A and B are shown apart, each in its own frame.
Chain A
Amino acid sequence: EAQVTQNPRYLITVTGKKLTVTCSQNMNHEYMSWYRQDPGLGLRQIYYSMNVEVTDKGDVPEGYKVSRKEKRNFPLILESPSPNQTSLYFCASTLAGDPGADTQYFGPGTRLTVL
């Protein structure tokens, strides 16, 4: 089944404790991105990757890191989480070429709480 998976689905942590949220897709998509969803703000893009070893900042990249060592995986790293990073996070992927025109496929989401 074609899908985007994220782990963990729920995470409660404390300020400053490094964490990684994994994202994997099995559709051979080139473009992957991370969003955060906050009430009243919709989804905002954190980082995106056009292909392996090619990543770039989205609209709200502060406090986050990503890597793209393999085509299928795009982990999101919070080196020193803070309470304002409490949010619902989504990974998404799209086939290739034009992220603006192509359908994006979303993972199920990771609900992160930073105390």
Chain B
Amino acid sequence: AQSVTQLGSHVSVSEGALVLLRCNYSSSVPPYLFWYVQYPNQGLQLLLKYTSAATLVKGINGFEAEFKKSETSFHLTKPSAHMSDAAEYFCAVSDEGRALTFGSGTRLQVQP
């Protein structure tokens, strides 16, 4: 069964600083990988997804993630944090035909 680990339940950055949220997955074959974002009091919405077309995936709001098979990682980055990026971020992994397995989430705080 798939599993996903998000390192750091809370990450705090200053406005304008680099955002790096870490995600590692367990899999013997290239999976489908997703990042979802949850703003306060809202449901989750898709930020980006990897489906083997390209290892560097660009998402909404300036976020991107790089699939590294050798490291079984799919870290999320954004060059310059904005106050509106404060939210909880979930990495998720799946195999074809199976349901998503979510990580435990990382809450991002952006300090002015």
Contacts and interface: CB of A to CB of B under 8 A. Distances in A.
Given A99-B97, A101-B32, 4 more contacts: A42-B102, A43-B44, A107-B43, A108-B43
A109 B9 CA distance: 21
A40 B104 contact: yes
A85 to B, nearest CB: 19
A45 B41 CA distance: 20
B24 interface: no
Counting contact residues on chain B (CB < 8 A from A), the size range is 20 to 34
Nearest 5 pairs of A and B residues by beta carbon? A100-B94, A106-B43, A42-B102, A43-B102, A42-B104
B46 interface: yes
Interface of B: 9, 32, 34, 36, 41-46, 49, 51, 90, 94-100, 102-105
A42 B46 contact: no
A74 interface: no
Contact of A103 (B41, B43, B46): B46
Contacts, number: 59
B99 A106 contact: no
Interface string A35-47: 1000011111100
B68 to A, nearest CB: 20
Interface of A: 4, 33, 35, 40-45, 48, 58, 90, 92, 98-101, 103-104, 106-109
Nearest to B43: A106
Nearest to B49: A103
A44 B34 CA distance: 15
B42 A41 contact: no
Given A41-B104, A42-B102, A42-B105, A99 B45 contact: no
B58 to A, nearest CB: 15
B43 A101 contact: no
A99 B46 contact: no
Contacts of A108: 41-43
A48 B99 contact: yes
